[in-house]
Amino acid sequence: MRTVEDQKLILSSVRALWGCVMPSLRTVSIELNDDIILWKCVFDSTATEDDLENLSAAAAEVTADFPKYGLKEIIVTIPFPQKTEPLKNLIYLRKE
């Protein structure tokens, strides 16, 4: 069951991703762990530095909505077809 905080994180994340999804992005997920927001982005091997920076900026937009929480970004590269393991709240999943 999702908490009210989970629902708010999901909505904030969807808004933050507008215009930031690029072909190299495989998944985005988010989770609240005590007072830390975990923001996990999984890219395939074609990701550029700009791709990574765009998703980091999206994470900053989410944290602006939740000033009492810290942020831990988890950015990983997992080439397709290897499986990804999202956090509790899956925000984006590329069709593969």
Average pLDDT over the chain, rounded to whole? 96
Q: What is the pLDDT of residue 2?
A: 85
- Reduce the DSSP state of residue 28 to 3 states and report it: strand
Residues of the chain with pLDDT under 70: none
Q: Which two tokens stand for residue 87?
A: 């956090």
How distant is the alpha carbon of residue 76 from its chain centre?
11
Cα dihedral value 9, 11, 14, 18, nearest 10: -120
Residues 22 and 75: beta-carbon distance below 8 Å: no
Read off the pLDDT of residues 24-40 as tens digits, 9 standing for 90 and up.
999 999 999 999 999 99
The domain limits of the chain are 4-93
CATH 3.30.70 fits 4-93, yes or no: yes
Q: At what angle do helices 4-17 and 49-65 cross, to 10 degrees?
A: 140
Q: What is the pLDDT of residue 90?
A: 97
